[in-house]
Every structure is written in structure tokens, then in C-alpha cells.
Structure 1
């Protein structure tokens, strides 16, 4: 295979060529799809998955709604923290992108001139997937699958070594899991306060008062004694 002459017996480079070779053999339209999916699509899908889980949590309600919403807030926060942690790691390792050192790669995205280890995309998607799993296992499984696909796409596009991706998976998972108890301790009181709010409670539980001050359900119970009494008095007031 072209380019393997300079890889020696390095399995990281060999796997890079094997996975990236799929891009060379694929039709051009498929590579364009992979380019969009790997760069933007999977991140957008992860955001949609988190919002879907939030909507499901609000609709279901229950005593643990505030806890789950707090965990969902942790999803994007964990990704942001993981990427920040990666900044000094990249500066310390200073690993060039694979296409600088290895010929014959099919590079689908241009302009990637920063360092390669650790992959930001792999870190982001896996941190979000694992944090989502902490909040809700059913949605989290899909999130982790998206994270795995995100890592694969980075190698497919020729912009990362497999070990860059594995490092991103490890970093994202570590941040999402190790800091989750701290995040829960800080965020859950906040979401419980929001849940009790007459104006912002709709963010945690469906049917709570929204920004307009209206409940998601009926504004009064027509069968309650107070409602019956008010209804009986209505003709007198009209007279």
C-alpha cells in the first residue's frame, strides 16, 4: 500500500493507512458526506440527542427530573472542560498532523495546521457521549456510538492518527466521569431551584409555569369546590 514504506512496523501508522485507504477507494460523493459528518454532522447530532433527552425528561417529570436536567447541563460543560484540558496537552506533546510526515494519505479537510494529539473532535464527542450516559443510559448509548463514529471519521479523513483519537476518547471519558460528582453537587441545587420557580420551572418539568406565567395544563380546576363556588356566584355578579 502506498506510503507504508515509511511506517516501519508502527501499528499506529499502519492502521492510519488502512482506515484512510477507505477514503481513497470510496466515491467522491461519499467522501464529501464523511467530510461534513466528521467535521460538523456528528456534533450537531449529539446536540440534538441531548435536547431530545431533555425534552423527554421534562415530559416524563418525576422526582428525579431536576437531577437528570442537572446531568444534562453537565454534558456540554464536560466537553468544554475536556477541550480546555487538551490545550496544554497539545502544546506539550507537539505532534504534527499525520499528513506532514506520511505520504499517500487522502486528506479530506485542508487547513488543519495545529497539533494532532489529542484530537479535539474525539475528546468533544466522547465527553458528551459519556456524560449523556451518566444522565440517561438509553440516550447515552447512542451518544457513545456517535463519539466512536466521530473518532473513526477523523482517521478516515486523514487528519489524525488512531492514537490521537484513542487519547481523545480517554480524555473525554475521564473528564466526564471523574468530575460528574462535583458537577452534580453544584448543578442539582440550581436545577431544583429552577424547578420551584413559577417562571422558569418549565425548563425542568413540563406543565410548570413558563415565561408567560401560564401553566402547561389548565389554569384552574373546574371541578374543585372553589371553582364550583365561583361558578355559582357568577350569575349574581352578572346581575
Structure 2
């Protein structure tokens, strides 16, 4: 059995759980379709807690995500495949999705590039962030819009850029200086609004 066949068989095994465990379908649909809005809200909330650590974390996460997305788009030019619901019969497609290149998974890139950064900065919540990224990746297979390799490659890209970002960004003094300028500007605006 070659890699392509393993990919398809693993997809079928996960996607067909949606027939057997229908009670979980609403949760998987929520994770696959709407959890990214909660992640974005989390990024915004962390930023506006106004601690330096949280802001360095958010900057690291955003840079990680941007770099991972760029590499994801480049990989998508090298290899492409349509979503499973286009290529395979008996796919249980639980959410609407445009027909396009599904490799690698943008959702996996997004969640791993951000959640792995959060995992390193927020050690007390590390298992929550890791579980969230994994659950979203699985949900994209469950609802029929990605193959396992789509999410595995997206997760690897996100993880690699997150690790590099966590190592590099806190050491870049230029970012510290920009953050100081931003904080001064933010405080100026707050003072003007509150007075």
C-alpha cells in the first residue's frame, strides 16, 4: 500500500466516524467551521491584556502564522489535490466548502502556528492549546474537507514556524523598541479618550 492509498484509507476511517458517531457531528462542525473565530478572539484578548509577555507572544504567533502560510502557498504550487468530497465517493461532507486545492490545510497551519506559540508562552494552558490544534485538524478530516496528509503537513509547517518564532522573536531587540513606541502611542490615545 503506497502513501496515497494510506492517506485515502485513513481519511475514510476518520470521515466515516461521522456516520457511526453522529452525536459528535455538531461539535466537529463547530471546530471545523467556527473555532477559528474563537482563536482570533483569543489573540485579540491576549494583546489587550497589555502585558509585555502577552504582546511578544501575540507578535510571535502572528509572524509564525504569516511565515507558515507563505510556505503553505509555495507547497500548494508544488503539489495539489482537490478536497476528498470531490475525489472520493461516499464522503460525508458536513460543511460547505469551495472546490480548490486542499493541500496543505490552512486551518491546520493557522491553529498549529498560533497554538504552539501559545503553548510555549502559557505553560499552564499548554495541553489545552495543543488539544485544540489537534481537534481542529481532526475535525477538518471528519467533516470531509481535508485528507490526513493535508492536515499533517499543515500541522508540521505551523509547528516548525512556531518553534522558530518562539526562539527568534523574543531575542529581536528591534521588536522591543517598536513595542515601547506602540505602548506610548496606545497610552496617549487612552489618556485622550478618558480625559
Normalising by structure 1, report the TM-score.
0.68
Structure with the largest fraction of helix: 2
Matched residue of 1:179: which SS? helix
Q: 1:210 aligns with which of 186, 190, 195?
A: 190
- The two structures, once aligned, show a CA RMSD in angstroms of 2.9
SS at match of 1:200: helix
Change in CA separation of 1:77 and 1:38 when aligned onto 2, cut-off 3 Å: same
TM-score, structure 2 length as denominator?
Answer: 0.82
CA radius of gyration, larger in: 1
Q: How many residues align?
A: 192
1:188 to 172, 176, 191: 176
In the alignment, structure 1 segments of 5+ residues that lack a partner are: 1-6, 59-64, 203-208, 216-239
Alpha-carbon offset, residue 187 of structure 1: 2.4
User: Equivalents in 2 of 1:133, 1:54: separation in Å?
Assistant: 16
Q: Which runs of 5+ in 2 are unaligned?
A: none
1:81 equivalent in structure 2: 67
Work out whether residues 129 and 142 of structure 1, in 8 Å CA contact, stay in contact via their aligned partners in 2. no
Map of 2:13 onto structure 1: 18
1:52 to partner: Cα distance? 4.2
Q: Does 1:36 align with 2:22?
A: no
Q: 1:45 maps to what in 2? A: 38
Instruction: State the shift of 1:30 in Å.
Output: 5.1
Following TM superposition, the consecutive aligned residue runs of length 4 or more in structure 1 with deviations greater than 6 angstroms are none
Distance 1:212 1:31, change over 3 A: same
Judged with a 3 Å threshold, the aligned counterparts in structure 2 of structure 1 residues 49 and 143 are, in CA distance, closer, same or farther, namely: farther
